[in-house]
Amino acid sequence: MEKRRVVVTGIGAVTPLGKDAETTWNNAINGVSGIGPLTRVNADDFPAKVAAEVEDFDPTLFMEKKDSRKMDRFTQFAVAASIMAVKDANLEITEENSDRIGVWIGSGIGGMETFENQFETFLNKGYRRVSPFFVPMLIPDMAAGQVSITLGARGFNSCTVTACATGTNSIGDAFKVIQRGDAIAMVTGGAEAPITRMSVAGFCANTALSTNPDPKTACRPFDADRDGFILGEGAGIVVLEDLEHALARGAKIYAEIVGYGSTGDAYHITAPAPAGEGGARAMKMAIKDGGLEPNEIDYVNAHGTSTAYNDKFETAAIKEVFADHAGKLAISSTKSMTGHLLGAAGGVEAIFTVKAIQEGIIPPTINYVTPDPECDLDYVPNQARKQEIKAAMSNSLGFGGHNATIVFKKYE
């Protein structure tokens, strides 16, 4: 069966770095941090004191107020980012094409805020006072559902839940839908709003979060003094499109998506497999799927969470995949600026990866001060770098042993 070529024609984002993709990108290449004091919950209750929050987000810029009240914050982010991505792609969804345009948007933990608030209502006032919208606001697939309703996209519609690999798996899976001819376009990525009491409590309890109280230095991927990730929120959405369809309508093309790899560690519920073995297989699979050799990859947007195990094992995995070429690769963790958006991370990082290809600028890993002997590659420290990029990959590695990698090429 002939594989269709698939390109990125639109991007949309709501992140701690900006409430649209352009602002987010410009802040990233300028090394701006979106991390600040933890304000969405009472920081006095937790050892973690900082977070990457989306400030002053107004959902009514994208939807009616009455509709926004029926959505959890993660779904509001998804709808906003999707509307912006489709507008950026200049893609018109009509009665004629709507059943060939789909949505694949995931979330790692879904409507946590809704769950907590409604459970409190139930405990204090009984079941009759629980919102009839409780379940539709809570379930992770509702981002994809509401985006489909908002856009009128009636094609392939799905939701991936693979923890921190969610956004990348969603884009990879949507890519395959178009590649095999089941859609002409897919609106895809991830959304997350996890800065809630129970989420923060859970991540603090398993000691995953940084306890560094200084927002400027708390997130330091690959640095010897890293001590945990920073919880972030937002959404990253891309429009993927069949190349022929994109060319026929004169669409602008950011990059071509060519490869996807997805593996399981079969090892541990939270810790990555030793030496990043599962992540290495996902990278190899994605490179092979893209018809490339490892030495053709110029840039890796790393998962780079700023946790002790992830950064060490991801470095080991990159060395395993790229051998001698590993030392020539530019690698950066944009989580140093955005924090970790869990299920939305892969969506936002896909945008950074295609923008790096399009503009020939690699965003930096900020806060890189003290080298770690076990993390000894080129992490593009502290300042963006101008460099031509012909092919790049984005990695996401999640709790449960989920690994996902997507590969993009400069469109030719």
Backbone angles phi, psi at 326, to 5 degrees: -55, -40
Token digits of residue 305: 């969470």
Q: 325, 267, 274: which is closest to 300 by C-alpha?
A: 325
Q: 144, 142, 235, 158: which is closest to 194 by C-alpha?
A: 235
Residue with tokens 């997805």: 262
Residue with tokens 């009509």: 94
Pairing of strands 255-264, 6-14: antiparallel
Q: Which of 164, 204, 219, 375 is catalytic?
A: 164
CA angle at residue 22 from 20 to 24, to 5 degrees? 70
159 as an active site residue: the answer is no
Q: Which residues are catalytic?
A: 164
